[in-house]
Amino acid sequence: MNADEMVAKAFLAAFRHHPAGVAILTGDPGDGPVALTISSLISVGVEPPTVAFSLSDSSSSAKALARCETLVVHFVRRTNMQLARLCATSGSVRFGPGVEWDRLATGEPYYPQVETWFRAAIRGKLASPGACLATAELVESSPGWRDAPQSETLVYADRAWHGLRPLADPIRAPLLLWPDDSATF
């Protein structure tokens, strides 16, 4: 195995065990609604509220979202796991019968069952081999974000979905990555 292959294998192994929050992006580049589950969402800044995410060149949904000027960023919880799974499955029907969705007044498709979402305007793109890193300014928030129940956060690690919830007593409890899995340190 050469050095490049070794680094690639180490990269995959490291990120397989690096939990990431789960989000769903939805948009319409002009030829119909598209959705994609991502675990690459990061916050960039607060003034203005800006996020960044990666869009793979190998995904038709990511390519379509890269053509959008605006989109919706959904912060999914464990209660939304089936929707996240649907939007992560290649070839699945993400806006068909039996899927609850609507359009914002500005036209972007979104999933109203996800309590916290933001309409976002793409502000920049940086091409990278095999992907595009996009930045987006959050320009509108879901009306009920303050009233959203504090259900478990959905995270993705080691090719599996996990629920993440706060510890009952963080001072006395051991530090856990996610409660039902393994202790750390």
- What's the pLDDT tens digit per position in 15-51? 888 888 999 999 999 999 999 999 999 999 999 999 9
Nearest to 118 by CA among 134, 141, 146, 145: 141
pLDDT grade for 178, boundaries at 50, 70 and 90? very low
pTM for this entry: 0.85
pLDDT of residue 164: 77
DSSP annotation of 77 reads B
Is pLDDT above 60 for 183?
A: no
Which residue has better confidence, 163 or 49? 49
Percent of the chain topping pLDDT 90:
66
Name the CA dihedral angle for 153, 154, 155, 160, rounded to a multiple of 10 degrees.
Answer: 150
Question: What would the mean pLDDT of 45-64 be, rounded to a whole number?
Answer: 96
Q: Residue 4: how many CB atoms within 10 A of its CB?
A: 8
